Amino acid sequence: MKLTIKNILGVLILVTYSCNSPNSEKTDDLIAITNTSIINMIDGKISEGMTLIIKKGLIATIGESNELEISSKAKIINGTGKYVIPGLWDMHAHTSSEQVTRDILYPTFIANGITGIRVLSADCFEPCWELQMNIDQSRQLQSEVEKSMLVGPKAILGSTFINGAKPGEVSTVRAPGNRNDGKKLVHLLLDRGVDYIKIYDEIPREAYFGIADEANKQGLPFAGHVPVSVKASEASDAGQKSIEHCCAGSLFEECSSEEKRLREQITRLIQSREPKNMYSLVLELVKTYDDAKCQEVFKKFLENNTFYAPTLIATEMDNILRKDDWRDDPRLKYLPKKEYEFWIEDEIATKEVLGIQDPLIREKRFDIVGDMNKAGVEILAGSDCGVFGVHYGSGLHDELELLVEAGLTEFEALQTATINPAKYADKSNVYGNISEGLVADLLILDKNPLDNISNTKQIYSVLSNGKYYDRQSLDNILGNVAIEVTKEN
């Protein structure tokens, strides 16, 4: 009952504001965005002086403003001087507890124009950590979003992270150490109802390929890290749909001329669960980087349609530690208290365990992402929000800026958060672009993001799940989030 009342109060806040506008008696079932500029996510073309008619959350009609008739029943949004793009997807996102996700994280995503997320670990094997949900809770939140009971993004829900049996441990279905248990795990996760399997670092080689074989047979995608026992090219050949994080754990190893020796050392270090001075090994990988080897890996990704989510912002913690000013970030008022405490612990652990990395590592990481993009690999924008220094919602905009720094054009960066996620999900006929018949999850921006990718943060309004949120409504959402943060125990 308490949650229902809170949801009702949230709706009332938006309704109260809308009653002061000229559209106060018109619903979101029929919306016209007039005289605006539309950016096409296939070719980057900007169509000016256009009107979009949106009916019950779908793009019904697109045409030149001087040629379209608009119903008197439509809510009119003046798009003069504005730019319309598809809603953004964060393709490497995390959530928290059910309460925190409901009250803080989900609204924060929408307020930042993130209308879709792929959650890496939307489930947990009980007992769950305090900052986790199980799949039933994750599904319940999605049901409430779909019914407009909760402000939040669409979500692709991954399994708990699968790490496998440690060396010397007995293999089990939940922590597989062999091919047979890997296959059984796939059926366990199918029964739990996840959208895909989240692969992690330490899965033994045989268990990984058991998971891959059975997942492919059952039509259950698998994505995530590349285990240290497997090469990135092998993961691609095995059908892993996406690979996360650039580049330690995947490309740095396989692109090294000293791959065998360094992979063995890194494997021992990771399996020890005490990866002290990991950066010294990563630096050696970078110094032995072989471009020709990496190009062969990129060819594999292209052949197998393997997507890559670099999560560059998640690897910026080193820069954050150098500057030592993250506590001054005004966005902290939207960060859950438990998450803040986790960041404090992570800062200490990062300094003690990993140390400060050589700038050459960052430089090579960005070079690889740029080269991968030039080679034609499909890149996904993902923030890894929730890890130290990466904010929910706004972290995706930070990631887009870093992708441009890595060599992508502004248009290519936009594609990584719009049409590429749709391709990944086999939903290009549902969302990811602006055309008639597609879902009207949209951002209306004050400035052209093709001029400067940071203009994705200049949000005039958001359309999500059939609802229209103007700037005042978005500010109200953020204000409510800040209040909820202060209420946390």
Helix (H) or strand (E) holding 144: helix 135-146
Of the candidates 341, 449, 344, 433, the residue with the CA atom closest to the CA atom of residue 396:
449
User: Could you say which of 3.20.20.70, 2.30.40.10, 3.40.190.10, 2.40.50.140 is the CATH number of the domain covering 2-86+433-487?
Assistant: 2.30.40.10
Helix (H) or strand (E) holding 177: none
Residues 144-170: tens digit of each pLDDT: 999 999 999 999 999 999 998 888 899
Please indicate, yes or no, whether the overall pTM of this predicted structure exceeds 0.75: yes
Give span(s): CATH 3.20.20.140, the chain.
Answer: 88-424
Residue 191, Cβ density class (10 Å: 0-12 exposed, 13-18 middle, ≥19 buried) = exposed
Average pLDDT, the chain: 92
Residues 431-469: tens digit of each pLDDT: 999 999 999 999 999 999 999 999 999 999 999 999 999
How much is the pLDDT for 347? 84
- Which tokens go with 139? 């599904």
The per-residue DSSP string of 54-108 comes to EETTEEEEEEETTT----TTSEEEE-TT-EEEEPEEEEEE----HHHIIIIIHHH
How much is the pLDDT for 433? 99
CATH 3.30.2310.20 is the classification of domain 88-424: no
Question: Which residues of the chain fall short of a pLDDT of 50?
Answer: 1-20
Give span(s): CATH 2.30.40.10, the chain.
Answer: 2-86+433-487
DSSP conformational letter for 106: H
DSSP conformational letter for 454: G
How much is the pLDDT for 248? 77
DSSP conformational letter for 40: -
